[in-house]
Amino acid sequence: MAGRPGSAARRWLKLAMAAAVAAAFLVAAQLVSPSLPGAAGMVYEQNCSQDIDASALFYTEVTDVHEFSVTGGGRYAIDVRPGLKLGAGGE
Amino acid sequence: MVDGNVIEEKKSRWTELYLKEDWWSIWFAAILILVVAVGWITKVPKVGKWTDNPLTAFPADLFLPLALLVVGLGVMTAVGVAFMKLDVKRYLAGYVVVMVLAIVSYFLANQATMKAWGIGYAIWALAIGLVIANTVGTPEWILKGARSEMFIKTGLVLLGAEILFNRILKLGGPGLMVAWIVTPTVIIFMWHFGTRFMKMTNKPLVIIIAAATSVCGVSAAIATSAACRSKKDDLTLAVGMTMIFTVLMMVLMPPFAKLIGLSPAVAGAWLGGTIDSTGAVVAAGAFLGEKAEQVAAVVKMIQNVLIGLVAFAVAVFWVTRVDRDADPDHKPTLMEVWYRFPKFILGFVAASIVFSFVLMPLFGETAVDDILNKTKVFRSWLFCMAFVAIGLESNFKQLASQLVGGKPIIVYIVGQSFNILLTLFVAWLAFGGVLFEAF
């Protein structure tokens, strides 16, 4: 076992405490986030309202250059729209 | 696995094609792409999003596809495990636990507030694994299924398919300038700063932090760690730091861009070139409006393409320079370089080339997108399992020992600061009307 020393009961108690902390973190974040002041609150509101998934491993969702949707259930893609004038290669 | 390294180091023979994990990662990815391409798999299941009611994450019609996913991936990888002459029964027993923990990680990451803050499955998977390993301990039989390297390498080959070169051409010069000038500059700066100025002896950790900072966070960290045969603790540390700073930058940079009066295009390019995670880039860009959001996402996308090139360059640099420096009297032959080169990177590059220059022209964009939309989900599951496995194999004490003196954090902060300033300057040149027409 790649674990820590100590009695089995104590180790399981630690695991239960970690699970409780995770649950408390989820509940606290859910309760506190909507009332956060300043930029943090605004970013949170915006991410929620547009269903933006800020997951750190989400990058490959951006490989589609023909659609752009921040409301598509967290799926991102890019539409290089004519109005954007993205330089010589842009559409 | 050797001494907790991400890549094994042995001599090559033809039998390696069916005996070695590197090659099996290529075969696994090829199988997944094939079954999707021929239409045998029409949908890959994902855990649902939920806000207050956890049950909404698991609608009734999700259970069968999820069970099939667990069984399917298990059978496929077990075949490889059998060829590699490992204990299949014990692998499968451990694999099921890892997969269940991966589902739990997705469940937690898909809570609406967690999604909004970018606390994604990678951090949950690592945390769950770490907590188990450092409280009750990870039983040996679970460790047999926690084959993090196998999951990572297979996921990376699938990732290669998603890097489509022809799409880069559509994105224009300014974006290329911001993404492709700053990225290598920052990597080289951080490498020299970490190894020479800070005198960090853990060179893999330096290059992983540099790649994560300059390219795209977690994905780049994973690819680079495999390319340089780092220890798993190095990857855990780099991912942890990246994710914490990503959230901070996502919140702090947009208001700052507004405060200093950057135009939407310059601000978007700045955010896209600096914030590590693409999701966070889109979120931060959206704060400044539609144009900033689009420019930010485009710049990030161009930058993301560099993952493969960076991983390839790091692998070559490692076998030809870093390993040689460790034994200055020995100059490796070309064959030795080949022996030690992480072969799965060939799969990564091959997948990218095949999808960009063969499948795209043959079948068209819609068909290729359809395949990739499914392989992406497989790839995410594999990365998630990899992070669970890494956590299960990690030890808090070992992790803490990496932070002695705070050198990795200093390298990250100094490198990221340099990245932020340089990107701001280049974004102004490219998108501010100096070198190109103003946006």
Q: Which residues does chain B have within 8 Å of residue A53's beta carbon, measured at their own beta carbons?
A: 115, 118, 120, 279
Of the candidate ranges B2-16, B35-49, B244-258, the one whose mean pLDDT is the lowest: B2-16
pTM: 0.81
Lowest-confidence pick of A25-39, B61-75, B325-339: B325-339
pLDDT of B139-177, one tens digit each?
Answer: 999 999 999 889 988 998 998 888 777 666 655 678 788
The pLDDT of residue A76 is 38
- Cβ of B132 and A15 within 8 Å? yes
Give pLDDT, residue B170. 57
Flag the least confident range among B139-153, B240-254, B282-296: B282-296
Q: Which residues of A touch B294 (CB under 8 A)?
A: 68, 78-81, 84
- Tell me the average pLDDT of chain B: 86
Contact yes or no for A59 and B283 at CB 8 A: no
Smallest CA–CA distance, residue B111 to chain A, in Å, is: 8
Quote ipTM for the complex.
Answer: 0.72
Q: What is the 3-state secondary structure (H, E, C) of chain B?
A: CCCCECCCCCCCCCCHHHHCHHHHHHHHHHHHHHHHHCCCCCCCCCCCCECCCHHHHCCHHHHHHHHHHHHHHHHHHHHHHHHCCCCHHHHHHHHHHHHHHHHHHHHHHCEHHHHHHCCCHHHHHHHHHHHHHHCCCCCHHHHCCCCHHHHHHHHHHHHHHCCCHHHHHHHCHHHHHHHHHHHHHHHHHHHHHHHHHCCCCCHHHHHHHHHHHHCCCHHHHHHHHHHCCCEHHHHHHHHHHHHHHHHHHHHHHHHHHHHCCCCHHHHHHHHHHHCCCHHHHHHHHHHCCHHHHHHHHHHHHHHHCHHHHHHHHHHHHHHHHHHHHHCCCCCCCHHHHHHHCCCHHHHHHHHHHHHHHHHHHHHHHHHHHHHHHHHHHHHHHHHHHHHHHHHHHCCHHHHHHHCHHHHHHHHHHHHHHHHHHHHHHHHHHHHCCCCCCCC
Taking only the tens of pLDDT, chain A with its 91 residues reads 544 555 888 889 999 999 999 999 999 999 998 888 877 888 788 777 766 555 433 333 333 333 333 333 333 334 333 333 333 332 2
- What pLDDT, on the 0 to 100 scale, is given for residue A79? 39
